[in-house]
Amino acid sequence: MKLISGGVCAAKGFQAAGIHCGIRHNRSKKDLALIVSETEASAAAVYTTNQVKGAPLTVTKAHLADGKARAVICNSGNANTCNADGIAIAEGMAELAAQALGLKAEDVLVASTGVIGQPLSLEPIRQGIGPLAAALSTDGSGDACEAIMTTDTRRKEAAVEFELGGKVCRLGGIAKGSGMIHPNMATMLVFLTTDAAISPAMLQKALSGDVQSSFNMISIDGDTSTNDMVTVLANGLAGNPEITREGEDFAAFMKALNTVTVHLCRCIAGDGEGATKLLECSVTGAKDEKNAKIAAKSVICSNLTKAAMFGADANWGRVLCALGYSGAELDVHKVGVRFKSAAGEIEVCRDGAGVPFSEEKAKEILLQSEIGILVSLGDGDAAATAWGCDLTYDYVKINGDYRT
């Protein structure tokens, strides 16, 4: 297994493109993306559990009923959520893409991201779909990635190469997400592709299982979006024996998938709105995985902890506070806390009580751009990791005028 370049186009038979079509007023911002497989692909998706859902999710679910797809079209700048004609617009996007590609509309998945509750016109998409399809390229991952960004400040791409049944396979993807990040069963927008051969049922099993330890372990601000969606297309062009059941090949596929998704998780968490630091909370010594996840996510979600990390303040009591109200089963008298970064590591709490430490050294550690919060519960062998970011003044500034 090795990390490679190429993002969503790393796998055989996939092309992508991204252009500005006019949905966003700023012409320097791309706002329409397309990802296409040259052959029919197994397809799977997971979605937000927010009861207010964007129309594209409804259309994508319907188009995925047969477990197959060929393309994904996505716009930024408008979420197409809470619109009276939202379903018709999302279906229209699929139809326009299908016409340009010579496909059936049912083979096209649809996604949107941006402002909620504002009408989305098909006209810019109709005008842009021809140039977008013409721009499709095996080098188009970066452009597609830019076209799905909203308040993101940088691209989020990843890809790996691995073996299945003696065949070299590739799996890659792109993601967007910077605010409204607190997933439940899905996340932000993530588009994954692979040339591995795997049945739709096993692909869905792999994706549904993976998000529990990857995207569901991110939190930026505690808000679960209306448009969160993760999709994956697998076209089988690598030529490996199709994965139809659990076993060594399925385990290898899961490892590749998780390598890419965790990389994207870190990218998303580190690019949270207004963020200056990526926070990674690693919990060890939990009674079971469930309790480990609850504890790790609670620390990452704590606004007080996030603010302390922004100020490089080693206020470990806020970590214990978050553990205490998390709902995880733990004995506070066994809890230990350490802070870690490229500048070193320091113990600040042992057996639920403070220990002497250098405030100067702690500050040096917490001034780095990536901070590890290491929590030991001392109750068992289970572990979990969650990702987030610090809470800064700029988060309020960004969201104070997000719409206007």
With tokens 């617009």, the residue in question is: 89
Catalytic residue flag (residue 187): yes
List the beta bridge partners of residue 161.
Answer: 2, 170
Q: Is 211 helix (H, G, I), strand (E, B) or coil?
A: coil
The conformational region for residue 140 under phi > 0 = left, psi -120 to 50 = alpha, else beta, is alpha
Report the candidate in 354, 347, 341, 344 with the shortest Cα–Cα distance to residue 375.
Answer: 347
Rounded CA separation 332/372 (Å): 20
Q: Is 402 helix (H, G, I), strand (E, B) or coil?
A: coil
Catalytic residue among 60, 187, 194, 261: 187
Those residues whose C-beta lies under 8 Å from the C-beta of residue 383, and which sit 6 or more positions away, are: 282, 283, 284, 285, 286, 289, 292
Report the candidate in 18, 276, 292 with the shortest Cα–Cα distance to residue 140.
Answer: 18
Those residues whose C-beta lies under 8 Å from the C-beta of residue 179, and which sit 6 or more positions away, are: 150, 151, 220, 221, 223, 272, 273, 395, 398, 399, 402
Q: Is 200 exposed, middle or buried (0-12, 13-18, 19+ CB in 10 A)?
A: middle
With tokens 């452009």, the residue in question is: 143
Q: Are 161 and 4 in contact (CB under 8 A)?
A: yes
Rounded CA separation 296/386 (Å): 6
Q: Are 33 and 17 in contact (CB under 8 A)?
A: yes
**For the stretch 220-258, what's the b/e string if a residue is b when 16 or more beta carbons lie within 10 angstroms of its beta carbon?**
bbeebbbbbbbbbbbbbbbebebbeeeeebbebbbebbb
Show the tokens assigned to 123.
């006209």
Residues designated catalytic: 187
